[in-house]
Amino acid sequence: MTSHHKFSLRSLLLGSALALLPVAFAPAALAETVLDRGNVDDPESMDPHRTSTMAEGNLMRDLFLGLTAHDAAARTIPGAAESWEVSEDGKTYTFHMRADGRWSDGSPVTAEDFVYSWRRVVTPETAAEYAYMLAPVVNAEDITAGKKKPEELGISAKDKLTLVVTLNAATPYFLDMLSHQSTYPVKRENVEAFGTDFTKPGNLVSNGAYKLAGFVPNDHITLEKNPEFYDAANVAIDKVNYYPTADNAAAVKRFEAGELDVNRDFPTEQTADLKAKFGDEVRVGPILGTYYYGFKTDKAPWDNPRLRQAISMLIDRDFLTKKVWQDTMLPAYSFVPPGIEGYTARAPEYAEKAQIDREDEAEKILTELGYGPSSPLKMEIRFNTSDNNSNTAVAIQEMLRPFGIEVSLVNADTKSHYGLLEAKGNYDVARAAWYADYVDPENFLALCKTGTGNNYTQYSNAEYDGLLSKAAAAEPAERLKLLSDAEEIGVARDLCVMPLMYYSYHNLVSAKVGGWQENVMDIHPSRFLTLK
């Protein structure tokens, strides 16, 4: 269309030098801005209700818009809802949808879209990993457990632009939670028309700043600016290419060659060299995230908390953070990372002991359990492929070897690795990570609750579950204490997960990229970025 228009102007005004000047400058003025982002790996799904990884979250934030959203600094801002009111008891939220909210096909986004979508999330057949995210909503847990019908969920459309949500109790993080992809809307007509294929390019209809233009597995995913987005006038980048970059070393080379404008993660053993080479384009800082290993707690011998504790004591976290990760991580003993105001994280007693004392104590436990150099314990560690994950697993393998623990290593791409964990497949120990979806300890501790979709370790403890339930209905100060008590039981004592390190973000960000704001969530929606 554009080239045909230019040809017509040239034909009509041929011979007029002044008339040709705008034509000569047109290509530069209309040049498409393209952002190339390294994104760790391909998504397991493009269905927002069936995603769980950070790579998927990055894509979903660009494609969809929840009732609330994150700004460039990861602060909660209005999203598909432009405003809301909260009842005095904190249990009823009334959201007012944007009158100019549109799906990428031009149709209006309505309150009913959210009613349909949230019911879909909690319906057991959807198998949403994050169904538990909606647990604060009346009847959500009973619906997921098959005890009630989706129509009984505490959400209703008062009219096309008014949505009412009823909670079990006042929930301080509720508005923050609504920026998460598990709460995003999907268009009912497309889901019903295409079934599982509704997520494919050409079929997927989204309500965010971008729409899905192409997906070549193991190569790239292309998003194009959504002209129907309510704030499209302020979206500077026309096209975003997401590339799977599990090979960190190769991603660094692509960044250096200018093929990537942004890449999340790099080989941490190269940190000093990269800073010398790229200067301020290397971004490292604190983030609310925990790198952990999980034992399959419903499988012998890993169902023994004492064995889990012994292995945990043998892992030298200071070595991992300083030598393997080059001081870009911090040693972790609690699941909830530091930085959440008012919360006291709980760590096991041995966190304060010297490493040699931990090893002596662990060796005694192993001997009591019948393990040692003459009767070795065989243990398989599974991890998703990356240089940093591989180096971590090899270091742990070497730490455990002198104590008669024979470790074998199995690596897989991110999609396959997390696919096994989500399917509750067979393993001994598996690497995983958790980044805060919202700034609250409950977001971490919910992973150890019985039946939670992201409870990869299959940990189940009635006392732990009871404390989380009590916390959900408690006043703010008491709530944080109950959550801390739960961490004492589930993590410090039982190791429902084995925390190893607290994350820092390690990003490569080209000087050409504007609008990139460091934040403890490491969230950077493309709609707020620019290219210089």
CATH label of the domain that carries residue 377 = 3.10.105.10
User: Residues 338, 443: one domain?
Assistant: yes
CATH label of the domain that carries residue 159 = 3.90.76.10
- Does 514 reside within a domain? no
User: Residues 20, 101: one domain?
Assistant: no
User: How many residues in total does the chain contain?
Assistant: 532
User: Residues 21, 130: one domain?
Assistant: no
pLDDT of residue 27: 44
pLDDT of residue 30: 63
**Residues 6 or more apart in contact with residue 518 via CB below 8 angstroms:** 283, 285, 505
pLDDT of residue 31: 86
- Does 244 reside within a domain? no
User: Residues 370, 494: one domain?
Assistant: yes
pLDDT digits (tens, 9 = 90+) for 73-103: 999 999 999 999 999 999 999 999 999 999 9
User: Residues 374, 438: one domain?
Assistant: yes
Last residue of a domain, one of 150, 168, 199: 199
- Does 63 reside within a domain? yes
User: Residues 451, 474: one domain?
Assistant: yes
Placement of tokens 């391909």 in the chain: 42
- Does 515 reside within a domain? no
- 8 A C-beta contact, residue 522 and residue 435: yes
- Does 80 reside within a domain? yes
pLDDT of residue 339: 86
User: Residues 7, 57: one domain?
Assistant: no
- Does 222 reside within a domain? no
User: Residues 15, 129: one domain?
Assistant: no
Number of domains in the chain: 3
- Does 385 reside within a domain? yes
User: Residues 27, 48: one domain?
Assistant: no
The Cα 295–Cα 456 span in angstroms is 9
pLDDT of residue 8: 33
pLDDT digits (tens, 9 = 90+) for 26-80: 444 468 999 999 999 999 999 999 999 999 999 999 999 999 999 999 999 999 9
Ranges of residues in the chain with a pLDDT under 50 are 1-29
Q: In what order do the strands lie in the sheet with 81-86?
A: 81-86, 92-97, 162-166, 155-159
Range of the domain at 24: 2-31
**Residues 6 or more apart in contact with residue 224 via CB below 8 angstroms:** 210, 211, 213, 238, 239
Tell me the CB-side half-sphere exposure of residue 277, using CA atoms within 13 A. 13
Last residue of a domain, one of 181, 199, 217: 199
- Does 100 reside within a domain? yes
User: Residues 310, 354: one domain?
Assistant: yes
User: Residues 192, 295: one domain?
Assistant: no
Is 0.85 topped by the overall pTM? yes
Among 383, 359, 379, 346, which residue's Cα sits nearest to residue 309? 359
pLDDT of residue 266: 94
User: Residues 183, 151: one domain?
Assistant: yes
